Amino acid sequence: MRIAIFGSGYVGLVTGACLADVGHDVICVDVDADKITRLNNGKVPIHEPGLETLIHHNLKTGRLRFTTDAARAVNFGLLQFIAVGTPPDEDGSADLHHVLEVARTIGMHMQDYKIVVNKSTVPVGTAEKVQYAIAETLSARGVEQDFDVCSNPEFLKEGAAIDDFSKGARIVVGTDSERARQAMQECYAPYSRLQNKLIFMDIRSAELTKYAANAMLATKISFINEIAHLAERLGADIEQIRHGIGSDPRIGYHFIYPGCGYGGSCFPKDVQALTRTSRDLGHESHLLKAVETINQRQKGQLFHKLSQAFDHDLRGKNIALWGLAFKPNTDDMREAPSRTLMEALWAAGARVQAYDPEASEECRRLYGQRDDLTLSRRRDEALEGADALVICTEWKEFRAVDFEALRQTLYHPVLVDGRNLFDPDTVKAAGLRYYAIGRGDSL
Ligand code: NAD
């Protein structure tokens, strides 16, 4: 099939590369000319395991191409995917500016029947707005042209995006058109061969399914963090509790890892957007508001623990920080707990010596050159001259640590572990003061 994808970010690039890899003919379009030039030269602007290889391979086969030429993209494919950003507006609702701009672009250039597939995360009712924007543009051109709009929310996770796209549990499609249904079936047939993963539903339900999924996952994280908060004050160990509840198949182990809060480009904005939708309907969602409040508190925990460990005086302290990305295997720092921590440390007069396997460049882009931020190339380099170590992201390379050597390197034997990576007794036996999440210390 011939497919156009608007937006060459995490979702657009992964979708484009994966669909080309199974044999479809794909064109990816973006308004960022610099990004498109780099992509055409085989340079992938984001870190996502496996993506570069996939893009190189499919550029070579000729099934994948990148352009800024929207007219070419619209006339290239029957399927027109929208995978542009939907950042939060000032009031927390999703900003549909980019989505509707793409809709108008499609309407502007459309010469024959198209199926417009919305992959961006958008509030219920957006497909109708997209439909209207296209129809209005067509009418301004004086053109009568049939088209369909459907919803195909994306569930991939950054860091495991290729696998999620190719081997995900389900593919949700919302449509009321038989023609669109058949086309979507054909598009996704390579992923649905062994087991039918396609779930068709009405458009509004598909749009809400995405928010419901993210809100549920965020709720699980805030729930375990709430229990961790209690455990810490009651002298209990959240890791033992996690095993105790996760072993119940009704609960399960997924997404009940306590930590320093969720970040990224999706959970925070999607929970906010759903809260906003709820408020607009005259219903205050106490549950979703609590999920967000708990997460904000949790993101402040690392600073709180560190501050207490240093008697509330962090002026002039050098704090080593391992992990800047909001989670492992990505360079994405959107809403990352590391940012909350760094900004609080700087406000308290401390310096940060950070190491991340992939996100240093992004960190420099966000914060620029400043005296109180050093970006190290190795994890041990970040420890040189440091007073304490804080771990924000559970990258694999942080899992094995020589605690004796760590104690000897740090000026103060303080280790704050935002991801509960270690056994407290082992760390403490090496003479370190260990502050994890919900593990019996009440700092
Ligand atoms: P992103 O910010 O990484 O990429 C968006 C891209 O769209 C940018 O390259 C931007 O230049 C481009 N763009 C903006 N306006 C455009 C236009 N008019 N025409 C063509 N390109 C345009 O965003 P993302 O992380 O890929 O997210 C895209 C959508 O998918 C969002 O709604 C997000 O909520 C959703 N989503 C994201 C993830 C994730 O893990 N990142 C997962 C599932 C769903």
- Residues of the chain by 3-state class (helix, strand, coil), percent to 5: 45, 15, 40
Please check the confidence at residue 358 and state whether its pLDDT lies above 50.
yes
Residue 320's pLDDT is what?
A: 98
Catalytic residue among 18, 150, 260, 266: 266
User: Any residues with Cβ below 6 Å from ligand 1, and which?
Assistant: 6-12, 29-32, 35, 83-86, 98, 101-102, 120-121, 154, 156, 158, 265-266
Map out the domains of the chain as residue ranges: 2-206, 214-443
| H helical segments located in 156-313 | 161-167, 178-188, 203-234, 238-246, 267-280, 286-299, 301-309
- Per-chain mean pLDDT for the chain: 96
Q: Looking at the DSSP assignment, which residues form a beta bridge with residue 414?
A: 388, 433
- Asked if residue 249 has pLDDT above 60, the reply is yes
* pLDDT value of residue 194: 86
Average pLDDT, integer, range 358-369:
97
Whether 442 has a pLDDT exceeding 70, the answer reads no
> What DSSP line would sit under 32-72, residue for residue?
-HHHHHHHHTT--SS--TTHHHHHHHHHHHTSEEEES-HHH
SS3 state at 122 = coil
Position in ligand 1 atom list of the atom nearest CA 8: 9
Are 404 and 398 in contact by the 8 Å Cβ rule? The answer is no
Percent of the chain with pLDDT over 90: 96
pLDDT in tens, 44-73: 999 999 999 999 999 999 999 999 999 999
Average pLDDT over residues 3-27: 98
| Range 2-206 classified under CATH 3.50.50.60 | no
Mean pLDDT of 320-335: 96
- Say if pTM beats, i.e. exceeds, 0.90: yes
266 catalytic residue (yes or no):
yes
Cβ–Cβ under 8 Å, residues 133 and 100: yes
Same fold, 2-206 and 214-443: yes
Rounded distance from Cα 423 to ligand 1 centre (Å): 39
Looking at residues 163-178, what average pLDDT do you find?
96
CA of 327 to the centre of ligand 1 (A): 18
DSSP state for residue 94 in the 8-state scheme = B
ipTM reported for the complex, 2 dp: 0.99
Q: Which fold has domain 214-443?
A: Rossmann fold (3.40.50)
What distance in angstroms lies between residue 325's CA and the mean position of ligand 1's atoms? 18
Q: What is the position in ligand 1's atom list of the atom closest to the CA of 265?
A: 41
- As a whole-number percent, the residues of the chain with pLDDT over 70 amount to 99
pLDDT recorded at residue 441: 64
Q: What is the mean pLDDT of residues 318-342?
A: 97
CA of 6, closest atom in ligand 1: 20
CA 13, CA 16: separation in Å to the nearest integer?
A: 5
Please report, for residues 153, 290, 298, 305, 306, the alpha-carbon distance to residue 311 in angstroms, rounded to integers and kept in the order given: 48, 30, 20, 10, 9
